[in-house]
Amino acid sequence: MKNKIFLLLIISSMMIIASCSSNDDATTRPKENNDPEENKIVATTVAVTEIMDALEVDLIGVPTSYKDLPERYDGLTEVGNPMSPDMELIMSMQPKEVMSVTTLKYDLETVFEDAGIETNYVNLESIDAMHEEIIDLGEQYDREKQAEEIVQQFDEKLAEIEEKTTDKDTPKVLILMGVPGSYLVATDQSYIGDLVEKSGGENVFSGENVEYLASNTEHLQQSSPDIILRAAHGMPDEVVEMFDQEFKENDIWKHFDAVENDRVYDLEETLFGTTGNLAAAEALDELFAMLYPEG
């Protein structure tokens, strides 16, 4: 367990390093048309693929995923896992640009640079960052109208949530981010932490400089959360079973008010990933129902 937590901490540190350099990727590019053979874009993550679909931009390659990808890209070449794409395959496609995300930049930058492949690392580490990227991509591909509509729809949802939470007591929330075999605590710097804040909750681990922290159940209990959110990543079913076993066998969880009051919720991975995605508005509705069951 300790080794796995240590490994996860290393991974999260890598994500932080990548996020610190994400602003360096902003460059002014000429507008491009929507001819897939002219643009020759490969998207390597599901979130980026969905954003390009919403912007009505064609691609020549998409990630390999158990999740359903947009119909627009049916039949396209799958280039492998976002964290370890098939470089030989991608190079054979001779893309003009590959699109990944800033949280994977540390791991992938050298690989793509050595292959001589132009790579755009899209910042999806928060809602605001994602919206800025969508606007930039809209300008790049002459899809300003589509980009503005995407952002406007979310802004309307956010205004709706803010109105609903006015004059309500803010619940304190503990977020656990699980992967098979271990879990970390998600701070307000994480994407899900950002969602919780925007849905009217208070993360009990706010003011941190990192996205994730190692878990210590005694310390967690002292934070006195009203609600516990359990996010599953990687293999969701296996992670939920891990959480269930942990909460059953570790006696300290029985003393959490959130457990005693039956306010422990499992977050569905397609809505609550580790980076921003177009399901953010739906995720806000889900969170609001958990945080404010009285409506």
Bridge partners (DSSP) of residue 173 are 203, 227
* Contact assessment for residue 274 and residue 124, using Cβ atoms and an 8 Å cutoff: no
- Give the up-direction half-sphere exposure of residue 113: CA atoms within 13 A in the CB hemisphere: 7
Report if residue 163 sits inside a domain: no
* Res 26 pLDDT > 50: no
Which range among 29-38, 157-166, 178-187 shows the weakest confidence by mean pLDDT?
29-38
Amino acid occupying residue 247: F
Instruction: Work out the average pLDDT over 58-86.
Output: 95
Q: Give the residue with greater pLDDT, 230 vs 18.
A: 230
* Res 229 pLDDT > 50: yes
CA angle 143, 137, 194 (to 5 degrees): 120
* Res 31 pLDDT > 60: no
**Helix intervals (H) in 28-104:** 36-39, 46-54, 87-93
Q: Are strands 97-101 and 41-43 parallel, antiparallel or unpaired?
A: parallel
Residues 82 and 144 in one domain: yes
Q: Count of domains in the chain?
A: 2
Report if residue 161 sits inside a domain: no
Confidence band for 207, pLDDT divided at 50, 70 and 90:
confident
Instruction: Work out the average pLDDT over 122-137.
Output: 96
* Res 211 pLDDT > 70: yes
* Res 204 pLDDT > 90: yes
Residues 145 and 19 in one domain: yes
Residues 149 and 173 in one domain: no
Report if residue 20 sits inside a domain: yes
Q: Which of 125, 154, 183 is the last residue of a domain?
A: 154
Report if residue 287 sits inside a domain: yes
Residues 145 and 10 in one domain: yes
Question: Which of 131, 127, 128, 110 lies closest to 119 in space, CA to CA?
Answer: 110
pLDDT at 19: 36
* Res 279 pLDDT > 90: yes
Residues 66 and 175 in one domain: no
Confidence band for 35, pLDDT divided at 50, 70 and 90:
low
* Res 109 pLDDT > 70: yes
* Contact assessment for residue 196 and residue 252, using Cβ atoms and an 8 Å cutoff: no
Report if residue 159 sits inside a domain: no
* Res 253 pLDDT > 70: yes
What's 261's domain CATH number? 3.40.50.1980
* Res 269 pLDDT > 90: no
Instruction: Work out the average pLDDT over 117-123.
Output: 95
Q: Is 272 left (phi over 0), alpha (psi -120 to 50) or beta?
A: beta
Report if residue 26 sits inside a domain: yes
pLDDT at 118: 93
pLDDT at 34: 57
Q: Which of 127, 154, 181 is the last residue of a domain?
A: 154
Which range among 19-33, 68-82, 173-187, 277-291 shows the weakest confidence by mean pLDDT?
19-33
User: In this prediction, what percent of the chain has a pLDDT beyond 70?
Assistant: 87
User: In this prediction, what percent of the chain has a pLDDT beyond 90?
Assistant: 76
pLDDT at 36: 53
Residues 187 and 268 in one domain: yes
* Contact assessment for residue 182 and residue 230, using Cβ atoms and an 8 Å cutoff: no
Domain of residue 28 covers 2-154
Mean pLDDT of the chain: 87
Report if residue 232 sits inside a domain: yes
